[in-house]
Structure formats: C-alpha cells, structure tokens
Structure 1
Amino acid sequence: MPEGHTLHRLARLHQRRFAGSPVRVLSPQGRFSEDAALVDGRVLVKSEAWGKHLWHHYESGLVVHVHLGLYGAFTEAAVPMEPPVGQVRMRMVGAEFGTDLRGPTACEVLHPPQVAAIEARLGPDPLRKDADPDKAWKRISASKTPIGALLMDQAVIAGVGNVYRAEVLFRHGIDPDRPGRGLSRDEWDALWADLVALMKVGVRRGKMHVVRPEDDHGDPAYAKDRPRTYVYRRAGSPCRICGTPVAHSVMKGRNLFWCPSCQPS
C-alpha cells in the first residue's frame, strides 16, 4: 500500500499541473460518472494530502476524495491523451496534462463537512505543517498496545506504513513489541523528528531512502527499483549493523521485520 509520502507527492504534482484552471473530470469505467459530473469543468482550487488520503478541492466547494488502497495508482500523461485502457475510475484532463486513476479503494465527491469528519478521525501527518505530534503522544503514552501497531494506526499517526514503521523503529533501536506507554518522551520526539525527515526525503525523491549513507552497502535492496532497507523484507538476512539474522512475524495482519540484537526487548 502506498505510504503517505506518495500521496503528498501526488498532491504536489496535481497542484502544479491542474490547480487554478478548469479540469475535465470523467469516468471511463462508469463507476464514478455521477460524482464526476458534479466537478467536471470546474476550477481545481487546491490539491492536498492527509496521511493516505488525497483531496482535490474545487471552486464549488466540492472535494474529490481518493484513497489508493492496495492497488490504486495514477498514470500521468501529456495532452492529448490516448483512449483509456483498462478500468479507469477517474480521468482528469487539464490544459497540458492529464491523469488516469485505476483501482482505488475510494474515489468519491464529498462536501466539506464530510471531509472534516474524515480528517477528525486521522492522527497527525508528519508531512503536514499543521501536524501536532503531542496529539499522537497522548495516545501512545497511555496505551498498552505495541508501538509497532500504534505506528500503523492511522488514527494515531497518519501516513506511516509498513516500511517506515519497520525502519524508523530500527533506526532508534526500539523493539516493535514495546508497549506505547513504555516509550519515553525523548524517544517519541526523536521518532517523530525522524519520520518527518525521512518522509520529506520520500516526497522529494519519490522513493523511501531510510538507510544512512555509512550503512548503505552490502546486500542489495529487496527489489531492483527500491533503495536498501535495514530490516524491511530482509527476514533471515544479516543485520547491516550487527550481523544478527533479521526476524519476521505478523502483527495485526501485517508483516513485521526487526533485528533482535539492535532492537532488544
């Protein structure tokens, strides 16, 4: 599933390419046709993200809400665009660029109160200027739930996914099973600051760079088009720092990776 930096990167791209001008909004697939007609031809005022949610704000006050889920993706193209291929849920066409959305979990038109209700359920997003890390700390510091699960709870922190969860805990030597209330405030402040820095790099470069330069050697990345990771998808491989085999388990239905030596219980 795309993590928060991907949505912020998309929001910035769509802001540059579509905001300030009328946009054709269509649904070649047909599943979004009625909602698309509500914003078709309207001026896109602003594109922004909160966690894994993308918002397109139109001059009418209506907002297109997109959640990519596991399989959603945008495909960007220059205008004129080729005929749609496959199940295109939403097509946006501006003066010079267009984009096709396929396979999202959510693609819908909402009114501002509905947007506010969704945002009220989300935790602070490390990539937003208005983020309040104290809001997350209040939840974490009072919880018996493992920090590895809390970091993935979008109501606690918005935008963190499996990669950032595994890697930021490794970078700070924190056992994923440690209860949230077992963290010190200094540890939380350092985790938050690191998430902000790492996710900003993700927005800027389009990929998650989580390994410090001095550790960026040895075993190749888990996929050809991905940078190296410390522990994510490296189960059984030697830790890049101490050589201990990277451990793997499942926490709340998601794969979890950590180093038993660098992240002692």
Structure 2
Amino acid sequence: MPEGHTLHRLAKAHQRRFAGAPVAVSSPQGRFAAEASLVDGQVLVRAEAYGKHLFHDYGPHGTVHVHLGLYGTFSEMKLPVTEPVGQVRMRMVGRTQWTDLRGPTRCELLTSGEVDAIMARLGPDPLRRDADPDKAFARISRSKTSLAALLMDQSVLAGVGNVYRAEVLFRHGIAPMLPGRSLDSALWKDIWSDLVFLMRDGVRTGRIDTVAPEHLPEVMGRAAREDRHGGEVYVYRRAGLPCYVCGTPIAHSELVGRNLYWCPHCQAS
C-alpha cells in the first residue's frame, strides 16, 4: 500500500497539471460514471492529500476522494488522449496532461461535510503544515499498545506505513513492542521531526531513503538494494540480513496483520 509521501506527490502533480481550469472527468470502466458526470467540465479548485487519502476539490460540485489501497495506481500522460487500457475507474483530461486511475479501494464524490468527517477520523499527517504532533502523542502516551502498532494506526498518525514505521523505530533505537505509554515526550518530538524530514524527502524524490550517508552502498562497498519500492533502508524487507550498524541479523515477525522488521541489538530497548 502506498505511504503518505506518494499521495502528497500525486496531489502536488495534480495541482500543477489540472487545478485552475476545467477538467474532463469520465469513468471508462463505468463504476464511477454517475459521479464523474457531476464534475465533468468543472474547474478543479485544489488537489490535496491527507495521510493516504487524495482529494480533488471541485468547489460546489463536490470533492472526489481517492484511496489507492493495495492496488490503486495513477498513470500520468501527455496529450493526445488514447483509448483506455484495462479497467480505468476515473480518467481526468486537462489542458496538456491526462491521467487514468485504476484499481483504487475508494473513488467517490463527497460533500464537504463528508470530507471533513474523513479528516476528523485521521491523526496528524507529518506532511501537512496544519499537523499537531501533540494530538498524536496524547493518544500514544495513554496507550498500552505497542509503539509499532500505534505508528501504523491512521487514527493516531496519518500517512505512516510499514516502511516508515520500521525505519523510524530503527533510527531511534526503539524496540517495536515498547508500549506507547512508555515513550517520553522528548523522544516523541525527535520521532516526529524525523518523520517530517524523511517523508518530505520521499515527496521530493519519489522513494523512501532512510540510511545515513556512512551506510550508503558506495561508502560501505555493498550492493545497492534491489526492491520494487526502491530506496536504501535499514531493516524493511531485510529479514535475516546483517544490520548495517552492528551486523546482527534483522528480525521479522507479524504484528496486526503486517510484517514487522527490526534489529534485536540496535533496538534492544
């Protein structure tokens, strides 16, 4: 599932390519056809992201809400438009660009009140300037649940997924199963600042890189990571491989239905 930086990259791209002008919106697949007809030809006021949610605001005509889920993707192309390939849930055609959305978990037209309700259910997003990290800490500091689980709870913290969760815990030497209420406020501030830094870099580059300069492949003399997600990471999907810092094999288990990775030595407490 795409993490928050991917949705913010999409929001920035769609704001740049489509906002401020009428957009032709259709649903070649047909599942979004009725809603698409209500915004077809209307001006896209704003594209924005909150956590793993994308919103296309068409003013009084409504807001298109997209959640990519596990399989959703946007393909971005320059004009001219070609015939749809596959099951295209939504097609947007602007002045110079067009994009097709396939396979999302949600693609729906909402009222402003319904958009507000979605945002109200989400925790603060490290990539939004209106985020309040104290709101997340208030939840974390009262909870017996493991920090690893809390960081993935979108009602606690929006936009953080499996990769950022595993990597930020490693970077701060935190055992994944540490209860939330055992985390002190100073360390939480460091974690939050690190997430802001890492995720903003992800928006800029389109990949997740979390290793320090001294642990890059060219410095360590190791092979670059080969993974469809890209990026250089410390523990994510490195089960059984040696930690770049201490050499201990990276551990793996399952937590709340998701894969969890950590270094038993570097994250002993």
TM-score computed with the length of structure 2 as normaliser: 0.97
> For the residues of structure 2 that align with 1:123 and 1:226, how far apart are their CA atoms?
27
Q: Deviations over 1:16-52 (max 9, x none)?
A: 0000000000000000000101100000000000000
Q: Deviations over 1:202-244 (max 9, x none)?
A: 0000111111111112353141661221000000000000000
* Partner-residue secondary structure (3-state), 1:23: strand
Letter in 2 for 1:258: W
Indicate if the aligned counterparts of 1:61 and 1:112 stay in contact, CA closer than 8 A: no
> For the residues of structure 1 that align with 2:22 and 2:229, how far apart are their CA atoms?
36
Give, in angstroms, the shift of residue 155 of structure 1.
0.1
* Partner-residue secondary structure (3-state), 2:126: coil
* Partner-residue secondary structure (3-state), 2:60: coil
Q: Deviations over 1:122-176 (max 9, x none)?
A: 0000000000000000000000000000000000000000000000000000001
> For the residues of structure 2 that align with 1:224 and 1:248, how far apart are their CA atoms?
19
> For the residues of structure 1 that align with 2:234 and 2:223, how far apart are their CA atoms?
10
> For the residues of structure 1 that align with 2:60 and 2:86, how far apart are their CA atoms?
30
1:104 equivalent in alignment to 2:104:
yes
1:226 equivalent in alignment to 2:230:
yes
* Partner-residue secondary structure (3-state), 1:89: strand
1:206-221 equivalences under 5 Å are: 206-217=206-217, 218-221=222-225
Q: Which residue of 2 aligns with 1:259?
A: 263
* Partner-residue secondary structure (3-state), 2:75: strand
Q: Deviations over 1:159-196 (max 9, x none)?
A: 00000000000000000100000111111000000000
Q: Which residue of 2 aligns with 1:90?
A: 90
1:145 equivalent in alignment to 2:145:
yes
> For the residues of structure 1 that align with 2:45 and 2:133, how far apart are their CA atoms?
28
Q: Cα RMSD (Å) of the superposition?
A: 0.9
Q: Which residue of 2 aligns with 1:118?
A: 118
Q: Which residue of 2 aligns with 1:50?
A: 50
> For the residues of structure 2 that align with 1:208 and 1:78, how far apart are their CA atoms?
27
> For the residues of structure 2 that align with 1:164 and 1:81, how far apart are their CA atoms?
36
1:29 equivalent in alignment to 2:33:
no
> For the residues of structure 1 that align with 2:198 and 2:103, how far apart are their CA atoms?
27
1:104-253 equivalences under 5 Å are: 104-217=104-217, 218-223=222-227, 226-253=230-257
Q: Which residue of 2 aligns with 1:19?
A: 19
Indicate if the aligned counterparts of 2:28 and 2:87 stay in contact, CA closer than 8 A: yes
Give, in angstroms, the shift of residue 60 of structure 1.
2.3
Aligned residues: 265
* Partner-residue secondary structure (3-state), 1:208: coil
Letter in 2 for 1:127: L
Q: Which runs of 4+ in 1 moved over 2 A?
A: 217-220
| Residue identity (%) | 64
TM-score computed with the length of structure 1 as normaliser: 0.98
Letter in 2 for 1:56: H
Letter in 2 for 1:133: P
Letter in 2 for 1:45: V
Indicate if the aligned counterparts of 2:38 and 2:61 stay in contact, CA closer than 8 A: no
> For the residues of structure 1 that align with 2:38 and 2:29, how far apart are their CA atoms?
17
Q: Which ranges in structure 2 are unaligned for 5 or more consecutive residues?
A: none
* Partner-residue secondary structure (3-state), 1:99: strand
Alpha-carbon distance change, 225 to 110 in structure 1, aligned in 2, over 3 angstroms:
closer
> For the residues of structure 2 that align with 1:19 and 1:244, how far apart are their CA atoms?
50
